[in-house]
Amino acid sequence: MGRTYAAECEVAIRAVRQAVALCRAVRDEIQPEAVAKADLSPVTVADLGSQALICRALAQAFPDDAVIAEEDSSQLRRPENAAMLGSVLRYVRAIRPEADAASLRGWIDRGGAREYAERFWTLDPIDGTKGFLRGGQYAIALALVVEGTIEVAALACPNLPLEPGAIGPPGAILVAGRGRGASARPIDGDEPERSVRVSLLSDPAAARFCESVEAGHSAHDEAAAVAARLGISGPPARLDSQAKYAVVARGEAEIYLRLPTRPDYRERIWDHAAGALIVEEAGGVVTDVSGRRLEFTHGRDLAANRGVIVTNGRLHDRVLAALEAPGTSSEGA
């Protein structure tokens, strides 16, 4: 029996819960005029605060682990951004009162690794910027990669119901450990975790698929063509963030398409690592558009892959075949 990584899993859950508390506090104070600002400063404050809290927790528990994360503290080192620094500090101190400017920047920059290591964490402190701003879906995504294999994933979705169609306060954390399945638990409260499994649907025409809200993140026209080839007549569900992985993992959709918008584009690992393990442990399949497994051995990028295809497993080969049809941009990937 291999390692269970139980300690890493518990640290990850606690860390993303702290980050959710900070992100909710920021979101609750956003004024309508701030949402329209070109610099998206509320998101910057939440991103940086979330990364600081999670990287602090990882450094304390696993001081030798590298972290490949999306943000750095460069903005907070500029004199003209003193107000932003003060704002991030205020939110972080509500959870970690000992924080000062130096420690805050140090915690954030703990996520500054860029190269592959035999053991590292990858973090997206807020995945789904537009969703965060509009009060829609966003996620905090954390995963542990050991020797190129994702071993632990924690995906906090503050605005996703704990169960499909559930009534009550939103907020779910989906958790997975390699070989140990996937589960969901509430962000708030002590309810027991519950297992999540993908849909058993095998008829492609009845499949539900989801994709990014932003057309710049995925080729919507090509996704529509793939859906038509599969016989799917219903419109796609468009969600921000890795919440799309969550809805496939728990059977609310069978297909998530993230199709490249240009030939040279490569995905960032923090946008997929946590969600990929959760879907796989729920019984699904995750590959690139050519059917290759995602490779987490190239630093920040999925350099060996193009696009991402996520399914309940039973439909995966059918989706790949539809992508290979003449006229799709996945040809030659």
Q: Respond yes or no: is residue 47 known to be catalytic.
A: yes
Cα gap 216→205, rounded to integer Å: 27
Angle at 186 between CA 26 and CA 237, to 5 degrees: 75
Cα gap 104→143, rounded to integer Å: 22
Q: Respond yes or no: is residue 328 known to be catalytic.
A: no
Smallest Cα–Cα separation from 69: which of 15, 126, 24, 23?
126
Cα gap 168→117, rounded to integer Å: 42
- Asked if 55 and 195 touch (Cβ cutoff 8 Å), the reply is no
Q: Which of 44, 122, 129, 287 is catalytic?
A: 129
Angle at 19 between CA 302 and CA 217, to 5 degrees: 35
Q: Which of 44, 47, 124, 311 is catalytic?
A: 47
Cα gap 70→179, rounded to integer Å: 27
- Asked if 185 and 293 touch (Cβ cutoff 8 Å), the reply is no
- How far apart, in Å, are the Cα atoms of 331 and each of 13, 280, 289, 327? 40, 25, 9, 8
70 token code pair? 């999306």
Longest dimension (CA), the chain: 59
The set of catalytic residues is 47, 129
